[in-house]
Structure 1
Amino acid sequence: MPDRSQPLRRLGFLTIGLFDPADPGAGHESTLSIIELGEQLGFDSAWLRHRHLQFGISSPIAVMAAATQRTSRIELGTAVTPLGWENPLRLAEDLATVDVLSGGRINPGVSVGTPMQWDTVKDALYPDTAEVEDFSKTRVERLASYLAGDRVRELEGKQGVVEEFSSRVEPHSPGLRERLWYGAGSLGSAEWAGAHGLNLLSSSVIFPEADEEPDFAAVQASQIRAYRAAGGTRASQGLVVIPTDSATAEQAEKYRAYVAERLPRTATPQGPRGMMFAPDLVGTSEEIAEQLWDHAGFREVDEVAFALPFSFAHEDYVQILTDIATRLGPLLGWKPAGA
């Protein structure tokens, strides 16, 4: 195994929270149960993907609110909330409320850009303003300002007998602004995140520069280094890892078939921007640990949010999370919370 430069300090996981549209409650309950298991196993954080008009979690803030009442320690995040669907002021109110309920455990992760499948949804999402909506990073700056407690308006104080108004988002949750993450996939966005005091989420999808060799690990490492050079301090990596240590033969076969089906997309850059996908890692914890220590992107971070595969069963996630926490994590130098 290659020499490790530093032990893994924080271990998290990411789930899409799939559900059957005929019985959505069961899928959401499964997600909450997985978060509870994560806390029991000592994970530092649990992250929720954000899926609109699909059969995954459309309201991670609501799910996090429920999770705050069923956990006491594990941090909860979004990876990521696309701000093109959000009003930053209202989002700040929701995030601050859930952060207060959690005792300061929320890590909002966000991204920008025109919403996916824009032409199919713009009339419903912004019926009167679709042509003038600003989907730039200005949305992130507004959200960050509101979370920080900056003034939203001049009006404040008591009016009449009952009404009392604030000039900032309420409730205000100190420290929430410092826990704001930006999902960056390019060199420029990584540098921007660092310069604006945001934490960096680097996932299994990135965009190389035109003159860069199409080597995922090397490109990811260069983006994380650029983020730190621009002033950023906290970066996390998220790859799909599937340990098979305690898997049944049937589970292991299913996992390898899943990885094999997704592997071709990693062979060459995709689309006009040269989008690159990281290969999923499947095997024993020792095999995965060796691949991670040899991964240039992983060597640039000391915290991760390993992504759970999209379409597995609840018992598969239990096995995968248990192996990550009890076998893979310790091989990477990680210690469970409270250990």
Structure 2
Amino acid sequence: MPTPDVPLRQLGFLTIGLFDEADPRAGHENLLQVIELGEQLGFDSAWLRHRHLQFGVSSPVAVLAAASQRTSRIGLGTAVTPLGWENPLRLAEDWATVDLLSGGRLNPGLSVGPPMRYDEVKGALYPDTAEIEDFSYARVLRLRRMLAGEPVTDFRGTAGIEEFSDRVQPQAAGLAERLWYGAASTRSAAWAGEQGLNLLASSVVRAEPADGSADDPDFAAVQLGHIRAFRAAHPDGERARVSQGLVVIPTDSATPDQRRRYQEYVDARHPRTRTPQGPARMMFAPDLIGTGEQIAEQLYAHAAFREVDEVAFALPFSFRHEDYVQILTDMATHLGPALGWRPST
């Protein structure tokens, strides 16, 4: 539990890796440079978010494979991979391969449920099986069993001159224990705890009154409820790993133009944080902007932050490459130290 007297243990960052449709390579290269910078600054982890059929990274596993060869220490994760888009067996092969290439640094985060805008994409994604696909928690357990080395076929041996395994290959030791679940509800957080997974506390949650009475509950209280439900159900109890994700924008070394653009971004997004949004009543965490000291003060007042000792702060989604360099540098040199964190070497 970080307080001014207890340091933050793990500092990570999350990005979607935006690119220009007319020049996608440049955006992907900038993203790899951001991950390299994160390692140089001492961050403990870098996480990628999926953006299918958009102008952000659609294949984090491929980008992380490249990042694994340009870094040597920083943890590499997905936050999150929506399993509705994936075949668990193929994904297990990809994740295991990247984990081996990285030297055991992969931290796969995942979630379940139908793909976003499913009615529009299902004809291309599952043309023959769209109505019978299982998007339940069972998809997670199936993937974990494969990563853990359980057989996926009855045949093992030689056919002609080719040798076949009955398990996903390659096998990456310990990867099945490094799975993170992105929970947006108390139910999913408790389920993740029951399964012994790690928890990614989302910056977008379902509106659930913390005491069962308020119509529009406080975001921090809801997120706190998720963390406590997760740890109450987890075999490791209070020692179960939770990483909190919030958008933070430190401005210590920002130029006047950057500060102006950052504030406009925060102001434009703020109205959606006031009340639950849409039929699903989703709540969005307010963006935190200011100097490292000012953001640290806001975090220490955040009920859910006080329950964790590691974070993966999200980079704003639509900024310039030089903005991300400034924000990451200030996170590592101003905000992190204000939270008691020390860079890894």
Aligning the two structures, in what range does the TM-score lie when normalised by the shorter sequence?
over 0.9
Aligned residue for 2:14, secondary structure, equals strand
Alignment of structure 1 residues 146-295 onto 2, 5 Å: 146-160=146-160, 162-209=161-208, 211=212, 213=214, 214-231=217-234, 233-295=240-302
Kindly report which structure 2 residues correspond to 1:1-339, keeping only aligned pairs within 5 A, or say none: 3-4=3-4, 6-160=6-160, 162-209=161-208, 211=212, 213=214, 214-231=217-234, 233-338=240-345
Distance 1:259 1:212, change over 3 A: farther
Amino acid at match of 1:249: P
CA contact 1:187–1:208 (8 Å) conserved in 2: no
Residue type of the alignment partner of 2:208: E
Identity fraction in percent = 72
Residues of 2 paired with 1:129 and 1:308: CA distance?
36
User: Secondary structure of the equivalent of 1:197?
Assistant: coil
Letter in 2 for 1:118: Y
Distance 1:212 1:108, change over 3 A: farther
Report the Cα offset of residue 271 of structure 1: 2.0
2 CA distance for matches of 1:260 and 1:205? 18
Q: Size of the alignment, in residue pairs?
A: 336
TM-score by length of 1: 0.97
C-alpha deviation, 1:110, in angstroms: 0.6
Q: Distance in 2 between matches of 1:54 and 1:63?
A: 16
Structure 2 CA distance, aligned partners of 1:301 and 1:187?
Answer: 17
TM-score, L = length of structure 2: 0.95
Checking the alignment, whether the CA contact within 8 Å between 1:46 and 1:75 is kept in structure 2 is: yes
Question: Deviation at 1:236?
Answer: 0.5
Structure 1 residues 206 and 180, CA, compared in 2 at 3 Å: closer, same or farther? same
> After superposition, what is the alpha-carbon deviation per residue over 1:29-58, rounded to whole angstroms, capped at 9, x for unaligned?
000000000000000000001011000000
Task: Provide the rounded CA distance (Å) in 1 between the counterparts of 2:3 and 2:141.
Answer: 40
Which amino acid counterpart does residue 174 of structure 1 have in structure 2? A
Cα distance in 2, alignment partners of residues 35 and 223 from structure 1: 29
1:103-138 Cα distance to aligned partner (Å, 9 max, x none): 001111111111111111111000100011111111
Letter in 2 for 1:209: E
Following the alignment from structure 1 to structure 2, what is the Cα–Cα distance between the partners of residues 6 and 147? 35
- 2:3–2:306: 8 Å Cα contact kept in structure 1? no
Whether the aligned pair in 2 keeps the contact of 1:11 and 1:334 (CA below 8 Å) is yes
Distance in 1 (CA, whole Å) between partners of 2:3 and 2:132 is: 52
Name the CA distance, whole Å, in 1 between partners of 2:302 and 2:344.
25
Q: Is the 8 A contact 1:212 1:219 kept in 2?
A: no
Separation (CA, whole Å) in 2 of partners of 1:5 and 1:167: 51
Whether the 8 Å CA contact 1:201–1:238 is kept in 2: the answer is: yes
After superposition, the Cα gap between the structure-2 partners of 1:3 and 1:183, relative to the gap in structure 1 and judged at 3 Å, is closer
CA distance in 2 between counterparts of 1:212 and 1:26 reads 50
Assess, with a 3 A threshold, how the Cα gap between structure 1 residues 25 and 10 changes in structure 2: closer, same or farther: same
Query: Shift of residue 212 of structure 1?
Result: 5.3
Q: Which runs of 5+ in 1 are unaligned?
A: none
Unaligned runs of 5+ in 2: none
Q: CA deviation at 1:157?
A: 2.3
Kindly state the Cα deviation for residue 274 of structure 1 after the two structures are TM-superposed: 2.0
Alpha-carbon distance change, 183 to 3 in structure 1, aligned in 2, over 3 angstroms: closer
CA apart distance, 1:5: 6.2
* CA–CA distance in structure 1, aligned partners of residues 192 and 243 of structure 2: 13
Cα deviation code 1:173-196 (max 9, x no counterpart): 001011111100100000000000
1:185 touches 1:207 (CA, 8 Å); kept in 2? yes
TM-aligned CA distance change 1:60 to 1:3, over 3 Å:
closer
Which is further off, 42-51 or 144-153? 144-153
Deviation at 1:4, TM superposition (A): 3.5
Identify which range, 45-54 or 232-241, moves more after superposition. Answer: 232-241
CA distance in 2: counterparts of 1:143 and 1:212, whole angstroms: 38
2-structure distance, mates of 1:128, 1:121: 13
Q: In structure 1, what is the Cα distance between the partners aligned to 2:30 and 2:319? A: 12
Matched AA of 1:277:
F
SS at match of 1:182: strand
